[in-house]
Amino acid sequence: MRLVFMGPPGVGKGTQAERVTTHFKIVHLSTGEILREEINTNTRLGREAKAFMNDGQLVPDDLLLEKMNNRLRQDDCMEGYLLDGFPRTLPQAQGLDSILEDLNQSLDRAVNLTADNDELIRRLVLRGQKSGRDDDSPDVIRKRQQVYRDQTAPLIDYYRRQQILTEVNGIGKISEITDRIIRSLT
Ligand code: AMP
């Protein structure tokens, strides 16, 4: 199974992605995690990505596409994967489509997790207090939400037009949301 996971910052994408990949025994590819790892190991990509991330901006498309083009060709991806936080822009979605075409693969579903804005801010502020992530401060959170609305939300229509969009309510108990997602995919 090949999935894309979408949703605004704070909707619980990462948590649900982890649970859904365990259920379906597929690889969880979080570009946020991948980029944080590149920063920690001080690679060229990490050095280039860091300032954008700390500022709540998106890392440039060509960097993400180069990284994912390599990553999706690795053996562990052949049985399926869940893309968490990628694509985040229209050019990334188009780039992903051409990587997939090259690999003779296609996406099964794009899951969009939804929640209202007040709930999202509440969750992000809580996460910021716990995680110590540099990009979970209130100012950067607001910027990431704006970036989401401008650049990522249009992907919902992109996948709706491809007829692979599934919308799932992201409010409720963690286990209930996981059940909703799994039910929507089987
Ligand atoms: P996340 O952990 O998914 O919230 O991502 C954290 C940060 O990493 C984002 O605010 C972006 O700066 C960067 N990032 C993650 N995925 C992407 C992507 N697909 N395109 C551009 N930037 C990304």
List b or e across 171-184, with b for residues whose CB sees 16 or more CB atoms inside 10 angstroms.
Answer: eeeeeebbebbeee
Q: How far is the CA of 106 from the centre of ligand 1 (A)?
A: 23
Angle, in degrees to the nearest 10, between helices 61-71 and 90-102: 30
Task: Show the domains of the chain with their CATH numbers.
Answer: 2-179 (3.40.50.300)
Does ligand 1 have an atom closer than 6 angstroms to the CB of 32? yes
* Strands (DSSP E) found in the chain: 2-6, 27-30, 81-84, 109-114, 165-169
Place of tokens 């939400």: 145
Q: What is the pLDDT of residue 139?
A: 81
Three-state DSSP at 111 gives: strand
Q: Using one digit for the tens of pLDDT, what is the confidence trace for 61-115?
A: 999 999 999 999 999 999 999 999 999 999 999 999 999 999 999 999 999 999 9
Cβ-based neighbours of 93, under 8 Å, separated by 6 or more: 87, 155, 158, 159
Does ligand 1 have an atom closer than 6 angstroms to the CB of 93? no
Probe ligand 1: pick from 37, 67, 82, 88, max atoms within 8 Å of CB? 88
Q: What is the pLDDT of residue 112?
A: 95
For residue 30, give the ligand 1 atom closest to its CA: 3
Q: What is the pLDDT of residue 150?
A: 95
Q: Using one digit for the tens of pLDDT, what is the confidence trace for 13-59?
A: 999 999 999 999 999 999 999 999 999 999 999 999 999 999 889 99
Q: What is the pLDDT of residue 117?
A: 81
For residue 57, give the ligand 1 atom closest to its CA: 12
Q: Please, how many CA atoms are within 13 Å of residue 147, restricted to the half-sphere of its CB?
A: 18
Q: Using one digit for the tens of pLDDT, what is the confidence trace for 128-177?
A: 778 777 777 778 888 888 999 999 999 999 999 999 999 999 999 999 99
Q: What is the pLDDT of residue 47?
A: 97
Does ligand 1 have an atom closer than 6 angstroms to the CB of 31? yes
Q: What is the pLDDT of residue 98?
A: 98
Does ligand 1 have an atom closer than 6 angstroms to the CB of 88? yes
Q: How far is the CA of 127 from the centre of ligand 1 (A)?
A: 16
